[in-house]
Structure 1
Amino acid sequence: MDSKKSVKNFGDFDEAAAYILQLLSKQIGINSLFIAKNDGHINNILKVHNADKKLVEEGSSMPLIQSYCSLSINHGAVPLIIDDVSKNELTRSMEITKNYGQGTFVGVPVYYSDNTVYGTICGLDDQFHKLSEEDLYTFEMMSTLLTYVLELEKANQQIQTLTAPIVPVTKGVAIVPVIGDITAPRAEVIIKHVLEKCSSEPMDYLIIDVSGVLQINAVVGEYLLKLVSILKVIGVTPVITGIQPFMALKVPHFAAALKDVLIEANLEAALKNLGFVLIKNEKKNQTFV
C-alpha cells in the first residue's frame, strides 16, 4: 500500500519560524529555543519554544547590546556556543546572566540574502547542556532555511503589490486595478500599499477596479469594505468599478454596504463621472482629459 506524506504549507514567516523551533526542540532538547529580530538597537523576541521552564518570554524586548543575541551577531555566521554563561568572559558580567546560572547558550545570526542581519536563532538553558557538532550544524541549516523563507515572503509581498498597482490618472486621481484571486493576506498587502501611496501623494479620488477579481468570499468582502472606510476617513473619495454578479451572489451584503459609495459599471464610466472626457488624437490613441 502506498503511503502519502503530508506537505507542510506555511502561511507566513511566523508559521515557518514556529515550526522550525519545534523541530529543533525535538532534535536538540535544550530548554528554550527562540528567534529574535533586531533593528540594530532593540532585540525583539518573535517566536519562542520553551520546554520545561519558561526562560524566554515571547514578545519581550531589550537593548540589543544587553542581549546574548548581540554576541552571536558579532561572532559571525557560524554558531556561537557558550557552555557556561556564568564563567565565560563574554557573558559573566552581563545583567541577564543572573537569570540563567551555569546555563548554556548557542546562537547563530539569520541573514537576508544581501547579508544584512535579520536577527538570530538561539538556544538557551539554565543548566549545562551538551551540544554536539550535529546540533551546531542543524542550527546553521535552520538559519539558512529562515533566510530562504524571509526572501520568499519578501518576494511574495512584492508580487502582491505589483498585481494591484496604483496608476495615476492626473493630479489627485488614481486607479488601483485588483486582479486575480484575493486572499486575506493579499488584501492586507493591498490596503497597506494603498494607504502608503495616499499618505505620500495628495489624493482626492481613488478608483478601485475589481473587474479582474476571480473569486471573492465574505472575508475578502470585509477587507474591501475596510479599504473603502479607511479611504473615507483620510479624506479620499473611493469609487468602485467592475462589480460582477457573482460578487453580489457570494457576498450579499457587499453591494448594500456600498450604498453611499460611487459605483460604476466600468472604468470609462467612472472617469466620465469624475469629469474626464475620452478623446482620440491624430495618432488614434485614446486618452482621457
Structure 2
Amino acid sequence: MKKQPSSETFQSLKKASEKVFDLITTHLGVQTAYVAKRDSHAMTVLSSINNKEELVPEGLEVEYSGAVCRVVISGENNTLNSSNLEKDELTRELEIANDLKMKGFLGVTLRDDKGEVFGTLCVLDQEEKNFSEEDVEFLQSIANVLSYLIELDHTQFNMALLNVPILPITEGVSVLTLQGIVDEDRAAKLTADVLNYASQNSIDYFVIEMSGLVVINNEFPYVVVEIIQALKVMGIEPIMTGITPSIAMQETGTDALQKLDVKTVSSIEQALVHIGFKLIES
C-alpha cells in the first residue's frame, strides 16, 4: 500500500479512526480494525488497532491485486461480509488472507465528499464471525463520518500549499516549485500566477521543480503541460527537474511533455548549469 499523499497528510482521519476503533472492536466483538488508503497499485494501512497479536500493522503495504480491500471496493454495495476469508470463494486464493489466518471479516468502502473511493474501513478476527445487516450498517455509519475528515485533510493539505511558490534566482531566471495536490481550482490559480509573474518580470528561463508534486489516482496534473506550452509561446524556456518515479510512470503526462521537447535535468543545480551559471564549491 502506497502513500499519495503521505499518511502524515491524513492526521484528522488517523486520529479520529484511532478514537473509534475501541468502539468498533467492542461493538462487533473483533480483535482488529483498520483504515486503509487506496493508491493506483497498492493499499496502505493508515491506522489500526490490534487487541491481541498484531495482525495488521500501521504502514502495511499490499499490492492492490492481492489485497482483501480490493474485494471490498469491487464487491456488492462496495462491502465484503465473510465469516471465514480462508474459505470464502472471493478471498481464499489471496495470499495475505492465508498468511494472517484471517477468518471473520467485515469491510466497507471509504469515500470522500465527492463520492470518490478513498479506501476501506475493515474489521477482522482469527475466529469465524457472522456479521448481521445491522453490523454492516453500523460500520458504514462510522465510514460516513470518517469521509468528512478525508476532505478536511485534503483541504488542509492544499491550504498550506495554496500560494504559488516562485523563487527568483537572478534577472530573467526563476524557479517554480510544484508541491502537493493540484486540483482544478489550484490549477487555475497556478497557471494565472505563473504566466502573470513571467510576463511582469521579463523571465527568460523558468525552472519547474516537481519533486513535491503529489499524483492522485494515477492521474498526472495536465496543467503542468499547459503551463509549459504557454511559457514556450511566450518565448520563455522551461526546464524541468525533480521528476520522481511516480511522476515518470504517468504515461499520459510524460508523453505530452516529451512531445513538447522540454529540457529535463536531475536537479536545480543542473538546470542553472544548463542556463550558463558556473557553480563554485565553497
Contact 2:18 2:47 in 1 (8 A): yes
Distance 1:101 1:157 in 2: 37
Contact 1:85 1:100 in 2 (8 A): no
Question: How does 1:72-83 map onto structure 2 within 5 Å?
Answer: 72-83=72-83
> Offset at 1:156?
2.4
Distance 1:96 1:90 in 2: 13
Distance 2:27 2:174 in 1: 57
Contact 1:36 1:44 in 2 (8 A): yes
Question: How does 1:267-278 map onto structure 2 within 5 Å?
Answer: none
Deviations 1:35-80 (A, max 9, x none): 1112131121221110122221221112111111110011154431
> Offset at 1:117?
1.7
Deviations 1:108-164 (A, max 9, x none): 1111233322111111111112323332112111221221101112122333333x4
Question: How does 1:258-269 map onto structure 2 within 5 Å?
Answer: none
Contact 2:102 2:124 in 1 (8 A): no
Residue 12 of structure 2 aligns with an amino acid whose one-letter code is: D
Normalized against structure 2, the TM-score is what? 0.53
Distance 2:164 2:76 in 1: 39
Q: Which position in structure 2 is the counterpart of 1:205?
A: none
Change (3 A) 1:168 1:91: closer
The DSSP-based 3-state class of the residue aligned with 1:106 is strand
- Structure whose CA Rg is larger: 1
Q: Which position in structure 1 is the counterpart of 2:136?
A: 136
Change (3 A) 1:52 1:234: same
Deviations 1:6-29 (A, max 9, x none): xxxx96332123223233123222
Q: Which position in structure 2 is the counterpart of 1:97?
A: 97
Q: Which position in structure 2 is the counterpart of 1:269?
A: none
Q: Which position in structure 2 is the counterpart of 1:211?
A: none
The gaps in structure 2 that reach 5 residues or longer are 1-9, 177-206, 211-237, 240-266, 270-282
> Offset at 1:165?
4.5
Distance 1:53 1:159 in 2: 39
Change (3 A) 1:76 1:159: farther
Q: Which position in structure 2 is the counterpart of 1:114?
A: 114
Distance 1:167 1:65 in 2: 40
The gaps in structure 1 that reach 5 residues or longer are 1-9, 176-196, 203-232, 236-289
Q: Which position in structure 1 is the counterpart of 2:20?
A: 20
Change (3 A) 1:166 1:138: same
> Offset at 1:234?
5.8
- The alignment's C-alpha RMSD in Å is 3.2
> Offset at 1:103?
1.3
Aligned residues: 177
The DSSP-based 3-state class of the residue aligned with 2:113 is coil
Contact 2:64 2:70 in 1 (8 A): yes
Identity of aligned residues (%): 25
Change (3 A) 1:25 1:173: same
Distance 1:102 1:11 in 2: 28
Distance 1:102 1:158 in 2: 38
Residue 122 of structure 2 aligns with an amino acid whose one-letter code is: C
Distance 2:174 2:78 in 1: 52
Q: Which position in structure 1 is the counterpart of 2:58?
A: 58
Contact 1:76 1:109 in 2 (8 A): no
Structure with larger RCO (C-alpha < 8 A, sep 6+) = 2
Q: Which position in structure 2 is the counterpart of 1:199?
A: 209
Change (3 A) 1:161 1:32: same
